[in-house]
Structure 1
Amino acid sequence: MPENQHEDPFEDRFAAALRDTGHSFRTDDPAALVGRGEVRGRRKQLLRRTAVLGGMTGVALVGVGATLLLTPDVHDPRRTSAAAGPAATTSPSAASPSPAEPFTGDDILRSLKELLPQGTYKEEQAQGTDSLMPPYAHVVFDDGRGAAALGLSFGRVEPGSEQARQRATCPDKALVKYDDCTTAKLPDGSRLALFQGYEYADQRADTKRWYAELLTPEGHHVLLTEWNAPAEKGAPVSRPQPPLSVEQLKEVVTADVWPRVVDSMPSRGDRSATGEAPSPGTRDKTIGDTLAGLLPRELNIVGEGGQESEYAYLVVDDGKGGSLVQINVQPGMSDMAGVLFEDAEELADGRLVTTRQSPGEEGAEGVVMWTVDTLRPDGLRVVISAFNTPAQHQDATRDTPALTMEQLREIALSTVWDAGA
């Protein structure tokens, strides 16, 4: 489900580490996460997604990317792009290792500084390619017009996978508020996204977040993020805009040194691969198609989006205004029963059901979020939410969602989601 993007988007490096070690995700406040749709579920795909976004409630981690930042340097990937030209090349440096050698944190910092305008640096942090965690760099950069945080992160993405299709794309404006976002295909086949938005979707602070995201045909993923403050959160803005222009972001993120950094990362099996089988019950159509087929006939679909498997959203209208409806279908969630369904209703067939009516995203006036969360005995979790607004970061446009709690329950418990349906 859409979530506070970035809010809680898990950074690629944390997600990769979780997949590598096989550890499962736990939260200190599972009820809050469920209510806001922040639990993406599949530990194999704890992606930041989508990524990617700041301060929204209810966006699926993969669908749009939520962010749980582990350090102040790495940031939620996602979505922007710009007109593209040939990839820029970094200036030669004796300090840059050959592709066969690992890059140290100092190597990455040095290469980054060579590509940035004249300025000063502090709070430098970096991780090289000889660690379990994917490499990254973080600096506070000042070009004389105010200190600004910059974060650079790297990863591998399986070419042709669902994750690859999600990278370097613009977020849906039904879920994320931003000023501008463009995407382009570079001459070498890489995809580039250039995004100009905000750290908080409700703009409760003036902190801006801009980023450039690059995905090459070989699966090299590079994300460069900047703010107009010395920290992404909790610091007053220090300048009207982040220091790098869109063209400068593109120049830095497309430097030819970065694919070499990714190539020098140790192989970790399917760490970044997301080519999983479709969720049960949806093998021949997308989650959105299945959801649409379960809606009451009087609802008109006026907007849609999501992924082929696991997450989708629809904007529906019953003649009283748009209403956002989002759903996650997540196999393999049995081990979360005691965390997410501790006080759930148990049906005769063993299915667990919880319901929740809560306020929507902070800063969106009058918004409510109605949720029905279910878990089958075989571990299939289906959770659906509806809002009284067509975009969760916008103020309410109607008194209640277009679907009642009973209708949401009926959809979540439908047998069409079950294996073999």
Structure 2
Amino acid sequence: MKNLNDTLPELMRRATENLEPESSDLVERGMARGATLRRRRTALVSFSGAAAVLATAGIIVSGSQLFAKDAEPPAASTPTKQSATNTGRVAAKPATLKETQATLTKLLPPRLKVAKVNVWDDGGGHQADLSLNDGKGLSLISLAIRPAIGQSPGCSDQKPGTCVTRPDGSRLTVVKDEFEKRTPGVVYNHIYLVRTGGESISLSSYNGNTVTREGAVTVEKTRAAPALTAAELTAIADSDLWRFPAKPVESTTSEKPQPPSPGASKPAVPVQQTLQTLKSVLPKGLQVSQPKTRGGLPADYNAASVLVNDGKGLSYVEVFITYQAMTVKKCGVEGAPNHCTLRADGSVAGWDKNSPEYSESRQDKEGVLGNTAAIHFPDGRYITLTSYNAVAEKGSKHTRPKPAISAEKLLDMAGNKAWKFPGTK
């Protein structure tokens, strides 16, 4: 499922590629990528980023809690022992993709039946998505397994409570019953194990399964709870049956220089002009206050925001426009929005509605939701519009049940021909 965009499985895959855990929020990194999308969750569907996004290289949610009883859980199926690879002695013969799939399937508890399998080599390790069924509904489990690349398995760079260094020197991170930020109702259990030799295993279990809708692959809720607990995921990762993929071969060719931004030859647009355009495309009948702007030269983007009120409470509305060096030309790839559509003019458009702003307990306290729309034009232009049910994206409680402007209306506003995109000329 390589094209699983902006969902937790893909975030976790990308996160484990570098194998260097960070301490940022886990999902808040979705769509913001590169210098052109440098701010926030909504900048590339929005995101800035499940919980970086959701994720970071260790897939760590800052609000997640690690319970000591999960550090040494019972076995998931058959009893296992500390493996030779867990002490750094990796099997001489690397595992094939088929062998990785077989190992994961063998280690699943007997109550789980495999309904669908998707495995692939991402160039740095093996990944797998399995749809499981125990009679209570389908549940997705995602695996990313990678060979050692020389990193230290210590927990010194982690926030307290998210990671433990175990007696054998391995590092274990556990996330339990965490909300998947961009898919209402979906929760997951996640573990990330780095063995003493540097090999890593990332496993996640969801109370949802993958679906394809309007050209986009996402995870939707299919059951009350994930099929596998964090303890069971840890037991699977601890098994001595694992053999690790071969190390990737380093390229001897120099990387090609990045192409110049499509906006390099375009004239700059005053950020105040962007603000005025935002006001002009707002639905009629709204009270507008507190206009603000960001970006403008020498930055390569313009952003503007206002508070609007339709009589049901204040709602923060923001626009972000830029030219992207790496253009998005189809759905189902990194950077493509949720609920994605490839339009006749070649643009890639999508939306997301009532998306929780936080992935942990802050969401229950503050209740901030966002509607977002985004369009990637084939010439590199990119625009995203967001409306919140609060007076700010973060740091304040909700002021109304839902955002003032619907996702569908935001998409209509984003396609207005009045927008002028800022170049860097």
- TM bin, normalised by shorter chain, reads 0.3 to 0.5
Larger Rg: 2
Query: TM-score w.r.t. structure 1 length?
Result: 0.45
Relative contact order, higher structure (CA 8 A, sep 6+): 2
